[in-house]
Amino acid sequence: MREIILDTETTGISPDDGDRIVEIGCLEVDHQVPTGRTFQCYLNPERPMSQGAANITGITDAFLRDKPKFAEKVDDFLAFIADSKLVMHNAPFDMGFLNHELALLGRPALDNDRVIDTLEIARTKFAGAKNDLNSLCRRFGVDNSGREKHGALLDSELLAEVYLELKGGRQPGLIFKQDQLDRNDLETTHTPVTARPRRPTPLSSRLTQAEESAHKDFIKNLSAPSKWMAAD
């Protein structure tokens, strides 16, 4: 199942006050595994950054002056997200801005039914705890040391890891996609990670069939009984 992890940066906190999007960052996930495909763009909001937004993002008016307007990037953005589910942290904020930008161009709004809000998931799992992105990164051991300033693509990358943890702790790079599992008929074992006991990490066998056969032949040729034989 294809999903898009999405984040925006804006000139301020409310499109009703005329604030606009200055950056969109998207990351593609397929069956809960990031594919490496991303979409990112900075946008000229045609209005000044608020001081608060500039402090948080490090984005300046001078930097945005020669960037494309949303109208110039909207088709690329919509083509990338296609009809996939959209995963956001505090989705009403990002959706409010995206649909405001689309409305300015007379484009149809994005449907809220396609949205997965990780903030809502986190509030359900960790009621009463801090559930902002930084707090969730700390809770799950996700390295956010590079997040000195907010950035839409960086935040999407961090959110992808947090989302995988919220969904059960599957780590990209350590698992096979479902279609690969079906094709190769491999079994996945669930091995606890001692350094992070809060969740299991699914690991696939790293031994090839040739290596397993060589190991079994080695055991059979031992001159004395081996404890390995009982565990085979």
Q: Catalytic site residues?
A: 150
Q: Which amino acid is at 115?
A: V
- Name the region of 58 (left: φ>0; alpha: ψ -120 to 50; beta: rest): left
Q: How far apart, in whole angstroms, are the C-alpha atoms of residue 71 and residue 148?
A: 30
Q: What is the Cα gyration radius of the chain?
A: 23
All residues at 6 or more sequence positions from 191 whose CB lies less than 8 Å from its CB, including other chains = 200, 201, 202, 203
Q: Is the dihedral of CA 51, 5, 65, 69 positive or negative?
A: negative
| Closest of 62, 61, 41 to residue 51, by C-alpha | 61
Q: How far apart are CA 95 and CA 92, in angstroms?
A: 5
Report which secondary-structure segment, H or E, holds 191.
strand 188-192
Kindly state the helix (H) or strand (E) to which residue 73 belongs, with its residue range. Answer: helix 70-81
